[in-house]
Amino acid sequence: MTTATRARLGAAGAALSPDRAGRWSIAAARIVLGLLWLQNSGWKTPPDFGMSTESGLYKFTTYAVENEVFAPYAFVVRELVLPNFILFGWMVLLVEAALGAFLLIGLATRFWALVGAAQATAIALSVVATPGEWSWAYYLMIAGHLAIFGAAAGRYAGLDGVLRPAWKRGDSRIGRLLLRAS
Amino acid sequence: MSSIRRAELVVSIVALVMGVAGAIVARNLSFTEPTGELVLSFGPSFNLLGALIMIVLAALALAGALLGRHGLVLASAGGFLLIAIQVLSQFGRSTNWLGTRGSNLAFALGLAAGLGALVLTERGRL
């Protein structure tokens, strides 16, 4: 690479990197999404996740069948998820708690942002056709996670930003994985 | 002070603030009340024992970060991991020693992973 090319790329990079307001906005979006999952992992209550009283997570999961949004998804919920609901409940609790944990501290943020977008999509496919639900809330959740993925939000006031230089210098396999995930 | 130690300080102060807030909201509960009191209604809940353990672990991490003692920070991270395991085993059941719920799982997991990643990276293990 010539010196002139390197200078051009450097100038382009500087133009693309966010200013102070941009950095804090990106960090705020990540933290708010982390708090969203943190709060919502609070009502996924084991051991039956609302199955015996047809409330809580169980009730919301049945919406996917009662108010079908996408037939193949409703089929999977009816045939696979509901018959194995307790296992599904534990998976939801663990995934949502991990989303809250990692987005809040900004560790492996890009990976967890994609997981969050996938989880928000699953929730949208369950409830957007349910009367009284505001469908844009779920589209905004998906968009928010894609935005923090694109912005690599953990690099701003998050642990990714603190730890990436050390991961780059090191030669551990986990460090390399975290570098990719951040 | 390195950026990693500064981050350890910030994380441990956040944990300390949460523990103190937990102690304030749970002040009228019994020490091991199974249903804790919510902090600002945004998620984590504590009884007095849960809040006290949170404060002790946060103080341990804070001391480790201030003194540059990795072992203390790592011990604190291990303690937060144990809280996460406590939530998984007792949340939603009649016995819940710390008065915790799913949001405590997220918070404790974040503290354990965060402090653990900071110390292990500083030690060159990650």
Our CA-based measurement puts residue B5 at a distance from the nearest CA of chain A, in whole angstroms, of 10
Q: Percent of chain A at pLDDT above 70? A: 91
Pick among A37, A41, A44, A156 to test the B interface (most B CBs inside 10 A): A41
At CB < 8 Å, which residues of chain B contact A? Answer: 3-4, 6-7, 11, 42-45, 91-93, 101-103, 105-107, 109-111, 113-114, 117-118, 121-122, 124-126
Contact of A170 with chain B, judged by CB distance below 8 Å, is answered with: yes
Q: Whole-number mean pLDDT of chain A?
A: 93
Tell whether A176 is covered by a domain.
Answer: yes
Instruction: Quote the CA–CA distance of B36 and B101 in Å, as a whole number.
Output: 8
Average pLDDT over residues A78-99: 98
pTM confidence score: 0.93
Identity of the amino acid at B37: E
Q: How many domains does chain B have?
A: 1
Q: Is the pLDDT of residue B40 over 70?
A: yes
Residue B70: other Cβ atoms inside 10 A:
17
Write out chain A residues lying below 8 Å of B106, CB-based. 37-38, 41, 96-101, 104
Q: How many domains does chain A have?
A: 1
Q: Whole-number mean pLDDT of chain B?
A: 96
Is the CB of B110 less than 8 angstroms away from the CB of A102? yes
Buried b (16+ CB within 10 A) or exposed e, B34-63: bebbbbeeebbbbbbbbbbbbbebbbbbbe
Domain that holds residue A44: 19-181
Is the CB of B109 less than 8 angstroms away from the CB of A97? yes
Q: Give residue A179's pLDDT.
A: 97
Domain that holds residue B62: 3-125
Q: Is the pLDDT of residue A1 over 70?
A: no
Tens-place pLDDT, residues A143-158: 999 999 999 999 999 9
CA dihedral A112, A108, A152, A163 (to 10 degrees): 170
